[in-house]
């Protein structure tokens, strides 16, 4: 039946065209954004998961930055401790050899003391210079915290976030303190490693015993500083490992988010081409359906 009031063919064609246009709009949005789930209305569950994972990745990025700062600080302190331990040309190792040399009968200990004084000043200067971003664990004072926490990890189980850290006790690395309680300025017997002075010593048995005490004191300091350097070296390696892991974890999270929300561009490009053809056919079908009403006019001619 032909009707002027109801063109069912045109209505069907129009509905089809609307559906194709809606799908075409969705496909174009996916292609322009590169995402299959760009808003909560696309897929509430996946969008919510992706949003949470992006927040986790931002936290991991902050952990990565913190690890970089921690690595630089630890490396500065580690380098200074290694320098203080020294070798045959300087540091505690050289100081020990000078004290052993001072045991020689008839030797000019005043000249040896000149070398010792230079080493003492050099070690103290090294400790004072071991500062990064205002932080110094080798030369401390009352404002230096007793412990420091180096942020090392972040994780979230359900709605509970957990931040991991590496805790260091500053006293284990302190060489000099304001209260003379560091490894090198703690007084043992009549002097600390920082204040050893042999210029007035002689070949007497008492002075030889004093020299033996100084040698033992420096040997103990070498062991303590070497132990502190070894500990920081282990921390340095741990930070390096954590840094690599956090970066890998961030990449993994990015891949996981992509699996949830990224659009398959091969599929979307194929869909776009098909929908464009369907839209053109829909427009043509609607045009044909609308032209059907024109044939009714011929009945009245």
CATH of 56-261, one of 2.30.40.10, 1.20.1260.10, 1.20.1330.10, 3.40.430.10: 1.20.1330.10
Percent over 70 (pLDDT), the chain: 95
Average pLDDT of span 200-214: 94
The pLDDT of residue 300: 67
* Model pLDDT for residues 225-283, shown as the tens digit of each residue: 999 999 999 999 999 999 999 999 999 999 999 999 989 889 889 988 998 898 888 88
Averaged pLDDT, 154-183 = 92
CA distance 14 to 279: 11
Indicate the pLDDT class of residue 183, thresholds 50, 70 and 90: very high
Confidence of residue 177 (pLDDT cuts 50, 70, 90): very high
Share above pLDDT 90 across residues of the chain, in percent, rounded to a whole number: 68
More confident residue, 108 or 180: 108
Q: DSSP per residue over 141-167, as a string? A: -TTS-SEEEEEEEEEEETTEEEEEEEE
Ordered by start, the domain boundaries in the chain are: 10-34+263-293, 56-261
CA atoms of 2 and 16, how far apart (whole Å):
21
Confidence of residue 102 (pLDDT cuts 50, 70, 90): very high
Q: So what's the pLDDT on residue 158?
A: 85
Q: How many CB atoms lie within 10 A of CB 126?
A: 21
**What was the pLDDT predicted at 198?**
95
Q: Give the residue with greater pLDDT, 26 vs 175.
A: 175
Provide the sign of the torsion angle of the four alpha carbons 38, 43, 48, 49, taken in this order.
Answer: negative
Identify the pLDDT of residue 92.
96
């Amino acid at each position: 039946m032909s009707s002027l009031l109801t063109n069912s063919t045109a209505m069907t064609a129009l509905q089809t065209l609307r559906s194709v246009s809606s799908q075409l709009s969705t496909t174009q949005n996916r292609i322009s954004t590169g995402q299959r789930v760009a808003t909560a209305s696309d897929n509430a569950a996946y969008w919510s998961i992706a949003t949470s994972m992006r927040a986790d990745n931002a936290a991991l990025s902050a952990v990565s930055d913190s690890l970089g700062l921690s690595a630089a600080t630890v490396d500065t302190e580690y380098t200074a401790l290694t320098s203080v331990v020294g070798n045959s040309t300087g540091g505690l190792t050289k100081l020990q050899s000078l004290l052993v040399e001072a045991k020689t009968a008839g030797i000019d200990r005043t000249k040896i003391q000149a070398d010792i004084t230079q080493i003492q000043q050099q070690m103290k200067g090294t400790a004072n210079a071991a500062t990064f971003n205002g932080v110094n664990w080798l030369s401390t004072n009352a404002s230096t915290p007793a412990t420091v926490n180096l942020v090392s990890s972040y994780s979230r189980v359900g709605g509970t976030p957990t931040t991991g850290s590496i805790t260091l006790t500053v006293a284990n690395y302190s060489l000099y303190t304001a209260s003379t309680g560091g490894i090198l300025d703690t007084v043992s017997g009549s002097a600390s490693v920082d204040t050893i002075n042999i210029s007035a010593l002689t070949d007497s048995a008492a002075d030889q015993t004093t020299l033996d005490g100084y040698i033992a004191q420096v040997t103990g300091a070498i062991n303590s500083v070497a132990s502190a350097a070894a500990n920081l070296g282990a921390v340095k390696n741990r930070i390096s490992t954590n840094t690599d892991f956090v970066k890998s974890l961030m990449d993994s999270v990015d891949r996981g988010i992509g699996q949830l929300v990224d659009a398959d561009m091969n599929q979307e490009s194929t869909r776009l081409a098909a929908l464009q053809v369907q839209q053109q056919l829909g427009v043509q079908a609607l045009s044909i359906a609308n032209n059907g009403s024109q044939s009714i006019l011929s009945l009245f001619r």
